[in-house]
Amino acid sequence: MRILYAAEAGSRAWGFESPDSDYDVRFIYVHPRDWYLSIREQRDVIEQPLTGLLDVSGWDLRKALRLFGSSNPALYEWLFSPVVYTESGNLAKELRILATSSYSHRALAWHYFRMAQKNYGRYIRGRESARLKKYLYVVRPLVMVHWMIEHRALPPIRLETALGGLNLPTPFRAALDSLLESKRRTPELGEGPRLPELDRWIEESLRLSEQFCANAPDERPSTDDLDGIYRALVFHGCASVCPAG
């Protein structure tokens, strides 16, 4: 198989990794042409166990394009990651262009809202103390939704970039900046008292985000466009560089 695109996902792409954070490498690959002409059902995911800090997995081209067609949030984050390891040909570029005009804001917004709601309810709400790093896994998805509300556009993946483009309360920003600095310096933040400035912003943002999700645009990529990309890579581009067998 040939790797068409590989990028960082997770905390290193989001910009708040710890000194000992894993490298979450995600990639899209294409097989030789005959692999796609078989009647057999074949595995379309590669999950490679590696030692140390590497967490590596990838999706076959056909799987990736199908998920792109449903506005898959994980794939969106791969494609727009600020840390790209390799990019072969025009696949990622073409998908980014399609995404800017036709990725479902509703699908992304619901994904981020539910992620924030789940993490807040599981790790923070109703507790006297909390694992402090969990705040970042609530705040970031809500910041993504805020960006979509204010800009009516897809959000940047890196948290600092998104924060820089939003009007946010000064006490909230000060508390968040302090938490981010501690996260980058400390392997494990551990448990600590609740952060009231973050709590207030989170509670209000959950209400605002849920209202936005219900009415956000739900444009989806064209299947014809994705079929064209798929055929060009498998039956033209791959024919010359990935001989059968």
Q: Where are the beta strands (DSSP E) in the chain?
A: 2-9, 23-30, 45-49, 54-60, 84-87, 129-131, 191-193
Exposure on the CB side of residue 74, measured as CA atoms within 13 A: 14
Beta strands 2-9; 23-30: pairing state:
antiparallel
Task: Write down the pLDDT at residue 103.
Answer: 95
Structure-model confidence comparison of residues 8 and 191, the more confident one = 8
Identify which of 104, 86, 83, 102 has the alpha carbon closest to the alpha carbon of residue 94: 102
How many angstroms separate the CA atoms of 74 and 71, rounded? 9
How many angstroms separate the CA atoms of 135 and 116, rounded? 9
Q: Does the pTM of the predicted model rise above 0.85?
A: yes
**What pLDDT digit, counting tens, does each position of 28-45 carry?**
999 999 999 988 889 999
Structure tokens at 180: 């981010």
**What pLDDT digit, counting tens, does each position of 159-214 carry?**
999 999 999 999 999 999 999 998 888 777 788 899 999 999 999 999 999 999 99
Residue 239 has pLDDT above 60, yes or no: no
Q: Is 199 in contact with 124 (CB distance < 8 Å)?
A: yes
The mean pLDDT value for 135-163 works out to 97
Neighbours of 138 (CB within 10 A): 27
How many angstroms separate the CA atoms of 87 and 136, rounded? 29
Q: What is the CA radius of gyration of the chain?
A: 20
Structure tokens at 196: 């009231």
How many angstroms separate the CA atoms of 123 and 118, rounded? 8
Residue 11's φ and ψ, nearest 5 degrees, are -60, -30
How many angstroms separate the CA atoms of 150 and 106, rounded? 14
**What pLDDT digit, counting tens, does each position of 87-110 carry?**
999 999 999 999 999 999 999 999
Q: How confident is the model at residue 237 (pLDDT cuts 50, 70, 90)?
A: low
How many angstroms separate the CA atoms of 77 and 178, rounded? 25
Q: Is 130 helix (H, G, I), strand (E, B) or coil?
A: strand
Q: Mean pLDDT for the chain?
A: 91
The percentage of residues in the chain with a pLDDT greater than 90, rounded to a whole number, is 78
Residue 119 has pLDDT above 90, yes or no: yes
Span between the terminal Cα atoms of the chain, in Å: 11
Task: Write down the pLDDT at residue 48.
Answer: 81
Q: What separation in angstroms does the CA of 169 have from each of 78, 88, 200, 202, 227? A: 30, 42, 11, 12, 45
Q: Is 52 in contact with 20 (CB distance < 8 Å)?
A: no
Task: Write down the pLDDT at residue 203.
Answer: 97
Structure-model confidence comparison of residues 75 and 52, the more confident one = 75
Q: What is the amino acid identity at position 6? A: A
